[in-house]
Amino acid sequence: MTAAHPAGDADRAARSAVAEAARRRTFAVISHPDAGKSTLTEALALHARVIGQAGAVHGKAGRRGTVSDWMDMEKARGISITSAALQFEYRDAVINLLDTPGHADFSEDTYRVLTAVDAAVMLVDAAKGLETQTMKLFAVCKHRGIPIVTVINKWDRPGKNALELMDEISERTSLTPTPLTWPVGIAGDFRGVLDRSDGSYRRFTRTAGGATIAPEEALSPEAAVAREGDAWQQAVEEVDLLAATGADHEQSLFLDGVTTPVLFASAVSNFGVGALLDTLVDLAPAPTGRPDAEGSVRDLGEPFSAFVFKVQSGMDAAHRDRLAYIRICTGVFERGMVVTHGRTKRPFTTKYAQHVFGRERESVDLAYPGDVVGLVNASALGVGDSLYADRPVDYPPLTTFAPEHFAVVRSRETAKHKQFRKGIEQLDSEGVVQVLRSDRRGDGAPVLAVVGPMQFEVATHRMEHEFNAPVALDRLPYSLAMRTDEASLPLIASSGGVEVVQRADGELLALFSDKWALRMLQQRHSGITLEPLVAAQLA
């Protein structure tokens, strides 16, 4: 535990925490795969001038990769498969930007990230509109009360009509879209935007490959109509129609999840990205007190507290270290402070604390509510753990999703059993996979359980390249896991086609081929314990 501060020091720390929290904007970018999420993340960093050149489209031969997609598999596939945290300053604000995987197979990682943010940017492909994974992630944001800013991306390519997209957002999300900017030129002919705050025209000029900030020219309405003619006049008429239907921004309705501000952009060309940064600083909420596991709200000025929302290894090939990402909820974090690990009630020293910018890091001495800090070599910390100084607090546990795909994993090289065991334990602790064991299969052949099959690819790739332990996977014919207990084991074991395994946390799970096999067992033995693994998933 930290030593008690004199009253004056404690008061100053509380005021500092509250004042610094007001400067923070912590948000995630959510979307369907290929909507341009990682490209937008890079463009935001470029506009904040924390990088000098953006990798236009990651995963393409001869192009630079994005800062947020640093894993070899991400570079090869051109998709995000793990969340990434970026922190930078813009204007007078401190931005904590969390890039998330768009692919459904990694939705559990995205869900955890959404527990750590105060707002979200929903990225919509102008040609495809609201896609499946976008809607699932929107449902999580709505459930958690996270305000959403919508960005219509790829307006430089052919796509849907702008008013049609507004109708789609309204009908499918029940949010009222309130555009802050409006495109001049149809999708595929992006000339700039009409700024609804003052009626001016923001004209954009392309840059080679979108690698640098696109020049932006502000023109009066008179100059705009002279330059753009019918395209400007159409934009003005459509904006008048929006005003007539009451589609104007009102801050309280945005924060209450009734409306969503909308911006039009082309992230790959860096069009409209500066306006998004300004919108986040001006409109997105700063951190506020968070409820603990019992529903009591802990004020920002109280002593330090945080929770772990992600654990990641393999970020530094030279050191093979392990990084636990924490979201600071209250108080002031000071590097080297000794805090209490809520799950074990043991002291935890924060000697190696870092701010993260993609794969790059630098030591951090102070951090405040809303900040994301990486704790290095935090082997004792797991996803969902709480940390605190002085007054105990436990934040709500993070949901573990029910796996739907299962495979036995074995080492390809018997001489590398230690590396194999260490790697499997590491992936389990990070939440990359769930590791299930049984006496029947033995310690050398555990079962890996995942939400989506691409997680198997990540696990096998990391086992070989990070832990030097190549593995073989044998898929199992199960698609459903249910929680059970010791008393039910004899009856379950007497039924064919069912396997019982144990998770690292001690939970006993019964694996079924499908829901019909489950129903047959329940009909034969009505008294056995078979419960769903989680109460809620992505809707």
Contact status, residue 323 vs residue 375, Cβ threshold 8 Å: yes
What pLDDT was estimated at residue 39? Answer: 85
Convert the pLDDT of each residue in 302-347 to its tens digit: 999 999 998 877 545 554 567 899 999 999 999 999 999 999 999 9
Per-residue pLDDT reduced to its tens digit, 170-216: 999 999 999 999 999 999 999 999 999 999 999 987 766 566 676 78
Quick one: pLDDT at residue 386?
A: 97
Which pLDDT score, from 0 to 100, does residue 537 have? 41
186's tokens: 């149809």
- Rounded distance, CA 146 to CA 319, Å? 37
Q: Which residues, 6+ apart, have CB-to-CB distance to 351 below 8 Å?
A: 335, 336
Is position 156 annotated in a ligand binding site? no
d(CA 485, CA 510): 9
pLDDT for res 50 = 65
C-alpha 224/C-alpha 205 separation (Å) is: 15
At 431 the pLDDT is: 76
Token pair belonging to 430: 């990070």
**End-to-end C-alpha distance for the chain, whole angstroms:** 40
Q: Would you state the torsion angle of the CA atoms of residues 302, 27, 208, 235, taken in this order, to the nearest 10 degrees?
A: -130
Higher pLDDT, 24 or 426: 24
Distances in Å between the alpha carbon of 538 and those of 114, 197, 292? 12, 36, 22
Nearest to 60 by CA among 86, 34, 82, 81: 34
Of the candidates 527, 473, 528, 478, the residue with the CA atom closest to the CA atom of residue 501: 478
Query: Mean pLDDT, to the nearest integer, of 470-485?
Result: 95
315-319, 420-424, 521-525 — which is least confidently predicted? 315-319
User: Is residue 59 within 8 Å of residue 76, measured between CB atoms?
Assistant: yes
In the numeric block, the tokens 């290894």 are attached to 313
Residue that wins the pLDDT comparison between 219 and 271: 219
Amino acid at 195: D
Angular region, 497: left φ>0, alpha ψ -120 to 50, beta rest: left
What CA–CA distance (Å, rounded) separates 126 from 169? 12
Give the model's pLDDT for residue 49.
65
> Does 99 appear as a known binding residue?
yes
Give the integer Cα–Cα distance in Å for 361 and 85. Answer: 10
100 is in an annotated binding site: yes
Query: Would the pLDDT of 442 be above 90?
Result: no
What is d(CA 88, CA 24) in angstroms, rounded to the nearest whole number?
A: 10
195 is an annotated ligand-binding site residue? no
List domains and CATH numbers for the chain: 7-11+290-388 (3.40.50.300), 29-81+102-109+119-283 (3.40.50.300), 405-532 (3.30.70.3280)
48-57, 245-254, 424-433, 457-466: segment of lowest average pLDDT: 48-57
Q: Residue 2: which pLDDT band, with cuts at 50, 70 and 90?
A: very low
Reduced to 3 states (helix: H, G, I; strand: E, B; else coil), residue 9 is helix
Q: Do the strands 353-357 and 305-313 form a parallel or antiparallel pair, or are they unpaired?
A: unpaired
By the 8 A CB rule, do 337 and 344 touch? no
Residue 65 has pLDDT above 70, yes or no: no
When pLDDT is cut at 50, 70 and 90, the band that residue 412 belongs to is: very high
Residue 167 CA to residue 104 CA, distance in Å, equals 25
Identity of the residue numbered 393: V
Q: Which residue has the higher pLDDT, 13 or 511?
A: 511
User: Could you tell me what percent of the chain has a pLDDT over 70?
Assistant: 85
pLDDT at 61 over 60: no
Provide the pLDDT confidence category of residue 88 given band limits of 50, 70 and 90.
confident
Q: What is the mean pLDDT of the chain?
A: 86
- For residue 262, give Cα distances in angstroms to 279, 421, 510: 10, 49, 46
Q: Give the separation between CA 37 and CA 153, rounded to whole angstroms.
A: 9
Residue 135, number of CB atoms within 10 A of its CB: 15
What pLDDT is stored for residue 145 in this prediction? 93
β-strand partners of 406: 449
- What pLDDT does residue 246 have? 93
- Of the listed ranges 3-7, 93-97, 503-507, the least confidently predicted one is 3-7
User: pLDDT tens, 98-156?
Assistant: 877 655 555 677 788 889 999 999 999 999 999 888 888 898 899 889 999 999 999 99
**What average pLDDT does the segment 403-408 reach?**
93
Its pTM surpasses 0.85: no
For 280-297, what is the mean pLDDT?
96
pLDDT exceeds 50 at position 66: no
Percent of the chain scoring above 90 in pLDDT: 56
441 has a pLDDT exceeding 90: no
pLDDT value, residue 317: 53
Q: Rounded to whole angstroms, how far apart are CA atoms 209 and 216?
A: 16
CA–CA separation, 338 and 316 (whole Å): 25
Using CA atoms, how far apart are residues 455 and 461, in angstroms rounded to an integer?
Answer: 10
- Among 207, 203, 208, smallest CA distance to 232 is for 203
pLDDT at 398: 81
* DSSP tag of 128: T
Give the list of residues 6+ apart from residue 369 with CB closer than 8 angstroms, or none. 17, 20, 21, 24, 287, 300, 328, 329, 330, 331
Q: Say if residue 111 is exposed, middle or buried (CB neighbours under 10 Å; 0-12, 13-18, 19+).
A: buried
Least confident range from 5-9, 248-252, 383-387, 457-461: namely: 5-9
Give me the DSSP letters along 472-526. EEEE-S--EEEEE-GGGHHHHHTSTT-EEEEETTS-EEEEESSHHHHHHHHHH-T
Q: Which of 339, 337, 329, 326 is nearest to 300 (CA)?
A: 329
Alpha-helical segments (H) within 190-250:
221-228, 230-244
